Amino acid sequence: MNVSLSLITALLMGGLMTLCAGAAIALRGNRTLLWLTLALSGAGAFAIALRFGDSQPGFTAIGIATLAGGYYCVGRAVRLLFSQNDTMHGLHLGVALIALAGAAIEAWGGSEAWQSIALYGAAALAASESVFRLMRVRRRRTIDSVLLVALIGVVAPYIIRIPFLVAMPQTATQGGPWIFGQSLGQLVLASEGMLTTLCVFLLMAKTIGDVISFYRLRSEQDALTGLLNRRSFAERLSLPGMSGALLLCDIDHFKRVNDRFGHPAGDSVIRALAGLFHCTGYPAGRMGGEEFALLLPGFDLDRAERLAEELRLCFESLAINPIPRDYRLSASFGVALFGENESVEAIHARADEALYAAKEAGRNRVMVHHAQANGSIPEMMGALYRVA
């Protein structure tokens, strides 16, 4: 093997390992990046072993342990990144058997060709785990597809080299047959360095991007219900060109629920109502306490009113553990239209006036705001629905 090429690869893997370890520490011990750091340490160790010569005693065993072990770590990183729970025991067993065969061939003085076949066979099988896992991802984004192609590019040179070693075992000591002025072994090492670098950057980018998305989502969500929090809902409501209807909802006599059944039961009630809002498919938010909001883009007043009534009836009929079946839960709803470029405060004020009217009229009903979207004097409608 070319000494300078293996040295460059070792330095490259060391630099990437340092970068990946730093990112893992910065992200509070991110497990995906920790596995990736271990993978890079294996690749670097293999390149260092090549630096001292692939004909040295024990090279095959060391090579399989570092190279195949490194690709095993990549597989663990991919498994975590895509939240796959299964363990590919059959594939891992195959790698272990090839590793044992390679060590036995080396111990018994077998040919270098068969030692190399064991080394590259174990590496190819271990690296294929990441390929199989990515192929099972149903909704791959662009970065996932590029990563899949890069990983296939990592596996392919190892597989391609094996038939050459079987057909021309005498070339094993020269790194395989010569292609384009370089041995196949040199080309394998060069492609491994380049494609591994690409895979590492793609995996790091996806990991860091997912972490950022996770924390951004947490900053936008209400912790108890998973709905939008007040700030995020207001941002949705104020998007340019937005118009339609705003629905506000408040659980009736919620303090009584907490006082009688305890706060855990109250949390269950809140989550149940949040689930109904979530199922509508429209942006929903928890405004605080037991008050919720639903954004209905493009809705007219009649359509929004009908949806509010459906939600009211569904909530009234819910069986929520540990609330007894004979305890009647209910909620009041206020609905108001809004036009483009209105302030969030003005929109919310109209819907809140309708909600207040629903409470004043006896609760457990839907009230609508009948003033114009930009009007200043509300004309509230009487009680539309009486308590069943």
**pLDDT beyond 60 at 373:** no
User: Closest by alpha carbon to 291, among 359, 337, 245, 343?
Assistant: 359
Higher pLDDT, 263 or 4: 263
Q: Taking a C-beta distance cutoff of 8 angstroms, is the pair 378, 371 a contact?
A: yes
Higher pLDDT, 375 or 365: 365
Q: For position 54, what pLDDT does the model report?
A: 59
**pLDDT beyond 70 at 195:** yes
List b or e across 134-157, with b for residues whose CB sees 16 or more CB atoms inside 10 angstroms: beebeeeeeebeebbebbbbbbbb
The domain spans of the chain are: 3-220, 230-368
Could you give phi then psi for residue 183, rounded to 5 degrees?
-70, 155
Model pTM score = 0.67
d(CA 193, CA 206): 20
pLDDT tier for residue 114 given thresholds of 50, 70 and 90: confident
Q: For position 258, what pLDDT does the model report?
A: 93
pLDDT tier for residue 61 given thresholds of 50, 70 and 90: confident
> What is 3-220's CATH number, 2.40.160, 3.40.1350, 1.20.1070, 1.10.10?
1.20.1070
2 C-beta neighbours (distance < 10 Å), count: 16
Q: Taking a C-beta distance cutoff of 8 angstroms, is the pair 353, 369 a contact?
A: yes
| Tens digits of residue pLDDT in 118-137 | 988 999 999 999 999 999 99
**pLDDT beyond 80 at 385:** no
DSSP, res 132: H
Q: For position 5, what pLDDT does the model report?
A: 67
**pLDDT beyond 70 at 378:** no
Q: For position 349, what pLDDT does the model report?
A: 94
| Tens digits of residue pLDDT in 156-172 | 888 887 887 777 766 55
| Tens digits of residue pLDDT in 232-271 | 999 999 999 899 999 999 999 999 999 999 999 999 999 9
Q: What is the mean pLDDT of the chain?
A: 86
| Tens digits of residue pLDDT in 293-339 | 999 999 999 999 999 999 999 999 999 988 998 898 999 999 999 99
pLDDT tier for residue 18 given thresholds of 50, 70 and 90: very high
Q: For position 207, what pLDDT does the model report?
A: 92
Architecture label for domain 230-368: 2-Layer Sandwich (3.30)
Q: For position 11, what pLDDT does the model report?
A: 85
Q: Taking a C-beta distance cutoff of 8 angstroms, is the pair 305, 360 a contact?
A: no
Q: How far is CA 363 from CA 270, 285, 330, 350, 388, in A?
A: 17, 21, 8, 18, 11
Q: For position 12, what pLDDT does the model report?
A: 83
86: helix, coil or strand?
coil
pLDDT tier for residue 187 given thresholds of 50, 70 and 90: low
